[in-house]
Structure 1
Amino acid sequence: MRNIIKLFTAAALTLMSVASAQAQEKLIKMGSMPWEDLLPISMVTKKFLEKQGYKVEITQFQEWGIAFAALSKGDVDILASQINYITPEYWAKNKNRLEKVSTLSHGLFQGLVVPSDAPIDSVDQLNDYADKVGGKIVGIEPGTGLMAQVEDAIKAYDLKYQVIDGSTAAMTAQLQSSLERKEPIVTMLWEPSWMALKFDVKFLKDPKGVFPPPQTYYWIARKGFSAEDAHRRESLASVFVPIDDITGMNAEINDGKTMEQAVDNWWDKHADLIEKWSVMSD
Structure 2
Amino acid sequence: MNRLISRSLLTLVGTAILSTNVMAAEPAVCKNVRLGVVNWTDVMATSAMTQVLLDGLGYKTKQTSASQQIIFAGIRDQRLDMFLGYWNPIMTQTITPFIDARQVKVLDQPSLNDARATLAVPKYLADKGLKTFADIAKFEKELGGKIYGIEPGSGANTQIKAMISKNQFGLGKFQLVESSEAGMLAAVDRAVRRKEAVVFFGWAPHPMNVNIDMAYLSGSEDALGPDEGRATVWTVTAPDYAERCPNANRLLSNLKFTAEDESRMMQPLLDHKDALASARQWLQDHPEDKARWLEGVTTFDGKPAADNLKLTSN
TM-score normalised by length of structure 1: 0.79
Whether contact under 8 Å (1:108, 1:190) holds in the other structure is yes
Q: In 1, distance between residues paired with 2:30 and 2:152?
A: 41
Give the gaps of 5 or more residues in structure 2.
Answer: 1-21, 299-314
Return the offset for 1:205. Answer: 0.8
Return the offset for 1:237. Answer: 1.0
Choose from 157, 166, 180 the match for 2:169. Answer: 157
Choose from 227, 246, 252 the match for 2:268. Answer: 252
Residue identity matched to 2:196: E
**How far does the alpha carbon of each residue in 1:170-216 deviate from its partner, in whole angstroms, 9 at most, with x for none?**
43233212212222222322233332321112111134121123322
TM-score normalised by length of structure 2: 0.72
Choose from 110, 116, 139 the match for 2:117. Answer: 110
Residue identity matched to 1:270: H
Partner of 2:208: 195
Q: What is the 5 A alignment of 1:68-107?
A: 68-82=72-86, 84-85=88-89, 86-93=91-98, 95-102=101-108, 103-107=110-114
Q: Is residue 2:80 matched to residue 1:46?
A: no
**Cα RMSD (Å):** 2.8
1:31 counterpart SS class: strand
Partner of 1:62: 66
Residue identity matched to 2:224: F
Residues 266-275 or 162-171, more deviating = 162-171
Choose from 173, 176, 180 the match for 2:193. Answer: 180
Residue identity matched to 1:135: G
2:118 counterpart SS class: strand
Choose from 143, 167, 171 the match for 2:179. Answer: 167
Q: Is residue 2:242 matched to residue 1:226?
A: yes
Residue identity matched to 1:276: R
Q: In 2, distance between residues paired with 1:158 and 1:269?
A: 49
Q: Is residue 2:137 matched to residue 1:121?
A: no
* Inter-CA distance 136–63: structure 2 relative to 1 (3 Å threshold): closer
Whether contact under 8 Å (2:76, 2:103) holds in the other structure is yes
Q: In 1, distance between residues paired with 2:103 and 2:147?
A: 40
Residue identity matched to 2:68: W
**How far does the alpha carbon of each residue in 1:129-180 deviate from its partner, in whole angstroms, 9 at most, with x for none?**
2333343334444443222322333422123642242423443233212212
Whether contact under 8 Å (2:283, 2:289) holds in the other structure is no
* Inter-CA distance 27–200: structure 2 relative to 1 (3 Å threshold): same
Residue identity matched to 1:162: F
Give the gaps of 5 or more residues in structure 1.
Answer: 1-17
